[in-house]
Amino acid sequence: MRVLICDPTDPESVERMRAAEIEVDVRDDISAEELMEVLPAYDGMVVRSRTKVRAPLIDKAENLKVIVRGGVGLDNIDVEHARAKGITVLNTPAASSASVAELTIGYLFALARRIPDATASMRAGQWEKKAFSEGTEIAGKTLGLVGCGRIGQEVARRAAALGMNVIFTRRTPTELPYARQVSLDELVRTADYISLHVPHTPETHHIIGAPEFAKMKDGVYIINCGRGGTLDEEALYDAIVSGKVAGAALDVFADEKEDRGKKLFTLPQVIGSPHIGAGTVEATERVGAEVAELLINFYRENYSRG
């Protein structure tokens, strides 16, 4: 079996695949145009969030048998089209959950205490003690999680340990000892902080938009370390300008190629990062290990020499 690694993957995990007699080529900076040309020669491919696997690419890759997404979401892959062509699609949903959850918690503190602004002020040689002495504690505040799967539950567990009152929305009834399930309407009306942790689907597109902002408390904070497109960025901009939203922290954006939230970052109340939620050494190692295990098992089940 011949596999193409299209995005950065833990080197030790690549060697594990090769040791299992899988032929692996690493081209983790390959362009979309190059991928279209070379993929037909491969039986499998490994991607993370950078590489998009859409229908035209799938149709061109006549030998493709398996796609492994190193990470949680599958929104960069046309999954139904791939499976209709007989291609197995796998991912590693648990490997990066802790890293994304920790970034979310980090943003809670950064917003509450205006840490990035204070740092920028210090770098400018200023000593604005009074200006930055009006932060708030997160203990006792209500954190509303829009979505509460693996990552949401990791966030909820950590936030509850910090003394926050955690509420969440989820399609299926779920009992958690450290959080309470509520409707989306109750969540947006009562939360002091709202954090999004849902995949981007037609059902969740702009799940937080102008109607939801209108219902929120004045001075609410918004965090999105989940998926771009679930948050209406234009409506968020307007809500910040109006004073409804006190601040926002964003790791993901609707358009991560061109726009990248540029309008939002003209506002001093917005802080963010370039989609680094899973970008830790530990998560990279766990993702790589799980990718290797998935591919090795697929190889043994489908290419066994008996």
Residue bearing tokens 């540029």:
262
Q: Which residues contact 27 (CB under 8 A, 6 or more apart)?
A: 4, 5, 6, 34, 38
Based on its alpha-carbon atoms, the radius of gyration of the chain, rounded to whole angstroms, reads: 21
Give the DSSP H/E element, type plus range, for residue 118.
Answer: helix 115-123
Give first-to-last CA distance, the chain, whole Å. Answer: 15
Counts of helices then strands in the chain (DSSP H, E) = 11, 12
Structure tokens at 184: 């989306």
User: What residues act catalytically?
Assistant: 227, 256, 275
Q: How far is CA 38 from CA 54, 55, 78, 88, in A?
A: 15, 16, 19, 19
Angle at 206 between CA 203 and CA 207, to 5 degrees: 65
| Length of the chain (residues) | 306
Cβ neighbourhood burial of 19 (10 Å; 0-12, 13-18, 19+):
exposed
